[in-house]
Amino acid sequence: MSPLNVALIGFGNVGGGVARLLLEKSERLAQRAGRPIVLKRVVVRDPSRPRAVSLPDGMISSDVREAILDPQIDTVVELIGGTTAAHDVVMDALAEGKDVVTANKALLCTHGDAIFERARTAKCCVAFEASVAGGIPIVATISQGLAANQINSIEAILNGTSNFILTEMLAKRVAYQDVLAEAQRLGYAEADPTLDVDGTDAAQKITLLTRLAFGTKVPLSAFPRQGIDTLELADLIYAEELGYRVKLLGVAKRVGSKLEMHVQPTLVRREKPIAQVSGAYNMVRLEGDAVGSLWLSGAGAGAMPTASAVVADLIDVATGRAARTFPQLDLWQSHPPLPIQPPEDIERRYYLRFNVEDRPHVFAEICDVLGRHGISLASIIQHEVPEHDDRAAGSDAVPAIPAVLMTHRAREGQFRTADVELEKLACVRTPRVRLPVAD
């Protein structure tokens, strides 16, 4: 059989992993694909830079056009990330009739419609398993393994960097800033780690899964998105005391005739499988009407796990499987879209933490505001502090102490309006933390 000749555009952490698999496991891959998969070209910005993976002489260059136009190349693997140069690489490769494999969720979120349209016109395919949840075969699971189901809910940890940081903060009792650099050193983070820690990366991934599972295209601006970059260690510790772990959870689920979506640090009961996922691991819990609940867990970031997904896509291209499944992916096509639940109507329980003055009537004032907005309390923590005599020193000397409240279910809109009033209370100081609780 003729080989599948591959050009790798981008040779960073994941690119190095893909090259290692293609070069070191060529026999195994040829057996699985029924034909050799041959790495022919690697394109980088600066070929003179030292690399962790050594390549055969003459393979590396800096000329993307030359690689894409090379008639020997069958498939282009885009691993440069971002939405500008990567867009040109993918569109040009498809225009030349080459199949494309990409790990780029930002690109698919931003330009997915045009890319898939061009692939259809060119009778090529775009494979993107590596774009969501690293080594977990979640795209194949939803689009093939669960094809008989109506998916009712997706609840997932989709950013390995954030999960690593949350795990380390709690285990070592350290602040957010002290762990971020370690996650970058270990190769989990994006080139711009802001996208990991502000929730953007997870939000891009949940929108791709939403498109696959529900056939609905949701812009990032249509649902609440919050990262872990503003979280304080104190909240992870209070959550632990209450029997919960804080996880950056992406959720997309049917509620009546609408789709509820959000990406937020969320309290999850400690005994639930998703609460027990630590380090750079991801987990996706799917609920289908026939299959019930499924939990898929594995490394969501890092060179070799992501390379595993990229090379699985290359095998699918080599066998012709991708050419059969790609046109059937009911992706990026017009559907009657499920309307998105307006954020203010999302109903959940919440964890609240305030710094409050330690003086009479404080809880009465807070509970009065919450109660008038229909928010009912489920539990309260206020730890004892040493006695103080503020009458002698004047009210400026009243110390502020943390108060933690767990609420019953209420709508986001009720909390927002209550918060406007809470902010005005003299007894409530900053920070005012509010985190959702998963049921």
Helix, strand and coil in the chain, % to nearest 5: 40, 25, 35
Site for ligand HSE in 68-107 (CB under 6 A): none
Tokens of 162: 């954030």
Closest contact distance (angstroms) between CB of 159 and ligand HSE is 4
Residue type, 149: N
Closest contact distance (angstroms) between CB of 310 and ligand HSE is 12
Return the number of the residue (161 or 210) whose C-beta is nearest ligand HSE: 161
Buried/exposed 324-341: b ≥16 CB within 10 Å, e otherwise: ebbeebebbeeeeebebb
Count of C-beta atoms within a 10 Å radius of residue 276: 14
Site for ligand HSE in 122-141 (CB under 6 A): 134
Answer yes or no whether residue 235 interacts with ligand HSE by CB under 6 A: no
Judged by CB under 6 A, the stretch of 187-195, 283-291, 361-369, 426-434 that binds ligand HSE is: 187-195
Q: Burial of 185 by CB count in 10 Å (0-12 exposed, 13-18 middle, 19+ buried)?
A: exposed
Q: Tell me which of 205, 217, 247, 253 is the catalytic residue.
A: 205
Exposure of 256 in the CB half-sphere (CA atoms within 13 A)? 7
Query: Of 107, 189, 362, 422, which one interacts with ligand HSE (CB under 6 A)?
Result: 189
Answer yes or no whether residue 176 interacts with ligand HSE by CB under 6 A: no
- Please state, in angstroms and rounded to a whole number, the distance separating the CA atoms of residues 133 and 159: 7
Answer yes or no whether residue 16 interacts with ligand HSE by CB under 6 A: no
Return the number of the residue (166 or 356) whose C-beta is nearest ligand HSE: 166
Return the number of the residue (184 or 417) whose C-beta is nearest ligand HSE: 184
Answer yes or no whether residue 300 interacts with ligand HSE by CB under 6 A: yes
- Please state, in angstroms and rounded to a whole number, the distance separating the CA atoms of residues 107 and 88: 11
Closest contact distance (angstroms) between CB of 130 and ligand HSE is 8
Q: How many residues bind ligand HSE (CB under 6 A)?
A: 11
Query: Of 11, 116, 176, 188, which one interacts with ligand HSE (CB under 6 A)?
Result: 188
Q: How far is CA 137 from CA 67, 144, 149, in A?
A: 29, 11, 17
CA proximity to 77, closest of 50, 48, 39: 39
Q: Burial of 426 by CB count in 10 Å (0-12 exposed, 13-18 middle, 19+ buried)?
A: exposed
User: Strands, DSSP E only, in 289-391?
Assistant: 292-299, 347-357, 377-381
Return the number of the residue (298 or 300) whose C-beta is nearest ligand HSE: 300
- Answer yes or no: 205 catalytic: yes
Edge-to-edge strand order for the sheet containing 99-102? 60-61, 37-43, 4-9, 75-78, 99-102, 126-127
Answer yes or no whether residue 15 interacts with ligand HSE by CB under 6 A: no
User: 39 pairs with which residues across the strands?
Assistant: 6
Return the number of the residue (227 or 288) whose C-beta is nearest ligand HSE: 227
Binding mask 367-406 for ligand HSE (x = CB under 6 A): ----------------------------------------
Return the number of the residue (300 or 436) whose C-beta is nearest ligand HSE: 300
Return the number of the residue (4 or 77) whose C-beta is nearest ligand HSE: 77
Judged by CB under 6 A, the stretch of 32-40, 66-74, 185-193, 354-362 that binds ligand HSE is: 185-193
Query: Of 168, 196, 198, 313, which one interacts with ligand HSE (CB under 6 A)?
Result: 196
Binding mask 242-261 for ligand HSE (x = CB under 6 A): --------------------
Exposure of 399 in the CB half-sphere (CA atoms within 13 A)? 9
Judged by CB under 6 A, the stretch of 37-45, 154-162, 214-222, 402-410 that binds ligand HSE is: 154-162
Q: Burial of 109 by CB count in 10 Å (0-12 exposed, 13-18 middle, 19+ buried)?
A: buried
Closest contact distance (angstroms) between CB of 262 and ligand HSE is 18
Rounded (10°) angle between helices 85-95 and 105-121 = 20
Query: Under the rule (CB under 6 A), what is the footprint of ligand HSE?
Result: 134, 159-161, 188-190, 196, 201, 300-301
Question: Which residues are designated catalytic?
Answer: 205
